[in-house]
Amino acid sequence: MGSKRSDNTLHIYTRVSTVVQETDGTSLDTQMELGIKKAGELGFLHKIWNEGAKSSHHEDIALRPMLSQLLAEIRERNVKHLWVIEQSRLSRNDMVAATIRNECNKASVTFYTKDGQYDLNNPSDIFTRQILDATSQLENALRVERSRMGKLQKVRQGFWHGGPPPFGYEIKDGKLSAHPDESKWVKKIYDLYHKGTSTADIKSELDRNGVVTRRGKGTWSLGSIQAILRNQHYAGRYVYTDSKSDESVEVTCPQIVDGSVWNDVQRKKERTRVRKGQVNRTTKFYLLRDLMVCGGCERPMGGRISEEQFKALYYCPNKERTWVKDRPKDDQKWKRGTGCSMDRSLNIPATDSAIWETVKSIVATSNVLKEKVKTDLLRDKDKDGAEFRSDLRNQRKIERRIKKSMDRVEESIAKIETDRMLERMDEKLYRQVKKNLQDELQTTRNDLDQCRIHVQEMVDQKRWIDWVEKFQEMYHDVDHLSPQDRKEYLEGVIDNLVVNLDQKTNEHVIDINFKFPIVGDQFEYIDESQKSKGHEVIEGDTTQILRGTFVSKHDRVKKKSRGHGLGGLRTRTLEQSPSP
């Protein structure tokens, strides 16, 4: 056009909302044909400004290059006549529409649509144009709201809310369905991670086998694997939240990963997450770190081993995070006690030794544990892995049956919601039926929770049997075990180790919380004079308390004493306190 104004040219702006329409071409062609026809009626030349497929909701005009160029021409007074099939082609956004009207008004542009001609310098035409703009915005808002409500209703009925499904699924009849090939690899990913394989090694396994990502790439990223490992869909349920109302709908979908495995993976990922950023979190071995919890702030304890500084200690990482969050001013000094009250670290060799000796002694002399071992072994000696897997499969069939029942109830609730919305059911009946269905849904959910608890108990019991088979002959002779086996031994009988600091004595107080009541348990005959009548085991406590000093002055060691690289530590023998 140049910089000279053309009074006999009709500028035709065309746009569609979706790529599908652009590819199909009909809507764009129709707009162009009508615009060219109008130019012919006016006896004008024409120029096409084809935007293609762009959304009209955004305020940023720069996202639509054709409209940006057209407005620049309007500002330069190079446009006298502008045609669009309807005002919404320019914008459905009120702010953007006002901007366009203002620019056209200043440039004395005559505005054309399929419904008529408007002189934006004429007050009546301006008023009419504003009414039409407001009507277009209202229609768009109603359309969006209907679409949102329709999507939410479909989600309540179990349909997919749109967009690509997660890896492992495909869409069938509008709902998620397990993909025959991808779902097998999802199970494989969880199984490998559950057994201790790193995400880097899982990536290598996927790449070696040519598993294609959802985006069609030949290689996997660690982030994609992490996303799969935290995706709740694979456990058979996910939550959809409406962005406008914040209403959340719980939706069931095909379960790909066993619930107990999924839960175990999440616990493992959480332990990894809270230790993120910790020094030597993967390259050093810690016997107790994964069992230790700070009693002051309830965070998992951290560990640090530095041979160069002759340091080996367990500590509460809260003070590090507090330092970053509440760093003192330049003219202030950091004071001990700021943040978590557990501000003294524990020497690793002394702590490991004390806990190991204490647990080893309690396990070796426990009557409860011996009876439990004997009972479990007698009960399960003829129960091989195949029988256990069969029992587990049967229990999971019950779980799936309960889930199907719950799905039917949820579908019924969605149906009466639809009937009420369409006024096919009166309010009184609707409330009564909905209450009955919600009560049934809650009962079914409780049954499902109990079933899942039972499955988890079966898995835990299998782990216990595996522990018994490995260690039951070693109660009095476990010192020869490797560090990894010692760790497994401790994790088999200990729930956790809660560490506190006695502020008066500066002693650490460690609660050893056992999985069984084996602390101070007793073995008694029913009749001492007639031992053949049998015996009974009186359960003890589940907690053993240790007190002691595991800390050197400033947590430092002298370089000249290199026994473990850790000489010079001032520690004393721990005193066992009676269980509460």
Question: What is the structure's pLDDT at 534?
Answer: 60
The predicted model gives 192-197 an average pLDDT of 83
Q: Do residue 358 and residue 488 come from a single domain?
A: yes
Average pLDDT over the chain, rounded to whole? Answer: 76
| Percent residues over pLDDT 90 in the chain | 10
Higher pLDDT, 314 or 539: 314
The pLDDT, as a whole number, for residue 169 is 93
Evaluate whether residue 295 is within a structural domain: no
The confidence band for 187, taking pLDDT boundaries of 50, 70 and 90, is very high
Answer with the residue of higher pLDDT: 378 or 111.
Answer: 111
Residues 164 and 268 occupy one common structural domain: yes
DSSP-assigned letters across all residues of 155-173: HHTT---SSPPPTTEEEET
Determine the pLDDT at residue 11.
93
| Residue labelled with tokens 């009419």 | 128
Q: What is the pLDDT of residues 57-83, one digit of tens each?
A: 555 676 788 888 888 898 888 999 999
Q: Which two structure tokens, joined as six digits, stand for 285?
A: 């071995």
Going by C-beta distance under 8 Å and a sequence separation of 6 or more, which residues neighbour residue 329? none
In a domain, 468, yes or no: no
- 335 to 137, 297, 326, 425: CA distances (angstroms): 60, 18, 12, 68
Average pLDDT over residues 137-149: 72
Whether residue 359 is contained in a domain is answered as yes
Pairwise CA distance, residues 7 & 78, whole Å: 9
User: What's the pTM value of the predicted model, to 2 decimals?
Assistant: 0.43
- Tens digit of pLDDT for each residue in 442-471? 888 888 878 877 777 777 667 777 777 677
Which residues are bridge partners to 503 per DSSP? none
Q: What is the CATH number of the domain that holds 249?
A: 3.90.1750.20
Judged by average pLDDT, the poorest of 42-46, 116-120, 218-222, 576-580 is 576-580
The residue with greater pLDDT, 291 or 97, is 291
Does 432 score more than 50 pLDDT? yes
Residues 136 and 203 in one domain: no
Q: Does residue 349 sit in the same domain as residue 266?
A: no
Mean pLDDT of 373-386: 61
Same domain, 347 and 485: yes
Verify that 126 and 214 share a domain, yes or no. Answer: no
Q: The tokens 């004071």 sit on which residue?
A: 335
**What dihedral angle (degrees, nearest 10) is formed by the CA atoms of 305, 308, 310, 313?**
-20
User: Domain for residue 373, yes or no?
Assistant: no
Tens of pLDDT, residue by residue over 476-525, are: 578 888 888 888 889 888 888 999 988 888 889 999 998 888 888 887 76
The confidence band for 272, taking pLDDT boundaries of 50, 70 and 90, is low
Q: What is the pLDDT of residue 560?
A: 36
Residue 228 — φ and ψ, nearest 5°? -65, -40
52 and 195 fall within a common domain: no
Which residues span the domain enclosing 491?
302-329+337-366+479-577
State the pLDDT at residue 568.
34
Are 110 and 139 contained in the same domain?
A: yes
3-class SS at 252? strand
Tokens for 47, please give them: 């120029």
The answer to whether residues 136 and 206 belong to one domain is: no
Closest CA to 278 of 321, 218, 228, 227: 321
What are phi and psi for residue 461, nearest 5 degrees? -65, -40
- When comparing pLDDT for 560 and 96, which is higher? 96
d(CA 97, CA 479): 80
Same-domain pairing of 356 and 486:
yes
Residues 141 and 199 in one domain: no
The total of structural domains in the chain comes to: 3
Tokens of 293: 């919890």
Percent of the chain with pLDDT over 70: 73
Residue 292 lies in a domain: no
pLDDT, residue 382, reads 54
Q: If we measure between CA atoms, which residue out of 74, 148, 153, 152 comes closest to residue 109?
A: 74
Domain endpoint, select from 238, 256, 274: 274
Is the distance from CB of 447 to CB of 402 less than 8 angstroms?
yes
Straight-line distance from the first to the last Cα atom of the chain, in angstroms, rounded to the nearest whole number = 92
Choosing from 153, 177, 194, the residue where a domain stops is 153
Highest mean pLDDT among 67-71, 115-119, 122-126, 468-472: 67-71
Query: DSSP for 462-518?
Result: HHHHHHHHHHGGGTT--TTS-HHHHHHHHHHHEEEEEEEEETTTTEEEEEEEESSS-
Does some domain include residue 140?
yes
How many other C-beta atoms are found inside a 10 Å radius of the C-beta of residue 113?
20
Q: Show which of 127, 153, 179 is a domain's final residue.
A: 153
Amino acid 481: pLDDT: 85
CATH number at residue 52: 3.40.50.1390
Residue 101 has pLDDT above 80, yes or no: no
563 in a structural domain: yes
Dist CA 85 CA 35 (whole Å) = 7
The one-character DSSP state at 76 is T
Highest mean predicted confidence (pLDDT) among 53-57, 372-376, 419-423: 419-423
Bridging pattern class, strands 543-548 and 507-514:
antiparallel
Would 226 be classed as within a structural domain? yes
Task: Judge if 142 and 217 occupy the same domain.
Answer: no
Both tokens of residue 63?
């996202």
Residue 111, classed as helix, strand or coil, is strand
